[in-house]
Copies of this chain bind each other. A is one copy, B any other.
Amino acid sequence: MNAIAPQEYKSDLKPIWCPGCGDYSVLTALAKALAELGRPREEIALVSGIGCSSRLPAYTSVYGFHGVHGRALALATGLKIARPDLTVLAAGGDGDGLSIGGNHFLHACRRNVDMTYLLMDNQVYGMTKGQASPTTAPDWCESKLTPLGPGVSPVMPLHLALASGVNFFARGFSGNPNELARLILEGIRHPGFSVIHVLSPCVTFRPEQRAWKQAVHAETVPPETEPAAALARFAADDGFATGVLFAGTRKAFMPERATRREWRDYEARFAA
């Protein structure tokens, strides 16, 4: 194990990201986590949607699927259920995962398939040049589509995930890639569906997010394990505590499949 250098999990493509984008560090943390995990590249698959963040797979050297906007979790679910032997990850932005993809997020939390989701949150639609996302504050007025601010209360990924039955939730910050790598690895190792909520600043459309460096703080209390207790404890969460916040004990979803019959047995029944 761990004979592989993190660099081996990166590809040679130059990211299209803006200089300074938080996503570079997410890539670094992911490569580090995969190197720690030590599985060969071909046994890992990374699925994404559409957005700056969703470009991630092309910059890794594992199997990847860059799908359509909002459906990364559905595609990853199918892949993992069809191929339980693979380590499956999904990644994407706050728009991809919580706006157009909100339903799949909700149902992935409930379904609890053993895979890990990197929710790369910059509180904005980066790729389409700066509109409000579901995690954007109601009074953010920089988008031409919502010049008076979106005026809608933001989604709290932690609350939404807990209410939907998530089995593992950690929060990381791209500015702290070592901690993030550790969280990703823990998420991969935890059975069932794990969400790694990554605060990953968009320096182009949300330059003020450079201040996140000051806002984040490590959670010191150990992770909650009971959903009800977690809902109660994190009800007033500020959104900047990093670390593993919840680690549940639900059994991962994986339908049994037997091979006791040939399909011809089923054919034969029609002749009865």
Contacts and interface: CB of A to CB of B under 8 A. Distances in A.
Interface string A203-230: 0000000000000000000000001110
Contact of A111 (B106, B111, B152, B165): B152
A269 B39 CA distance: 61
Tell me the number of copies of this protein.
2
A160 B153 contact: no
Contacts of A227: 235
Given A102-B107, A229-B235, 19 more contacts: A99-B107, A100-B103, A102-B102, A106-B106, A106-B160, A110-B152, A110-B154, A110-B155, A112-B153, A148-B256, A152-B253, A155-B165, A156-B163, A160-B164, A228-B236, A231-B231, A231-B232, A231-B235, A232-B235
Given A106-B160, A160-B106, A165 B153 contact: yes
Q: Which of A106, A229, A256 has the most CB of B within 10 A?
A: A106
Contacts of A250: 153
A84 interface: no
Contacts of A163: 156, 159-160, 162-164, 231
A143 to B, nearest CB: 14
27 contacts: A99-B107, A101-B103, A102-B102, A102-B107, A103-B103, A106-B106, A106-B155, A106-B160, A110-B152, A110-B154, A110-B155, A112-B153, A148-B256, A153-B165, A155-B164, A155-B165, A156-B163, A159-B162, A160-B164, A163-B163, A163-B231, A227-B235, A228-B236, A229-B235, A231-B232, A231-B235, A232-B235
Interface string A121-138: 000000000000010000
A153 B193 CA distance: 12
Interface string A151-177: 111111001101111000000000000
A253 B151 CA distance: 7
A51 to B, nearest CB: 17
Q: Which of A107, A153, A154, A236 has the most CB of B within 10 A?
A: A153
A224 B84 CA distance: 44
A152 B229 contact: no
Interface string A235-261: 110000000000000100101100000
A166 to B, nearest CB: 10
Contacts of A155: 106, 110, 164-165
Contacts of A151: 253, 255
A216 B208 CA distance: 50
A151 B153 CA distance: 32
A250 B152 CA distance: 10
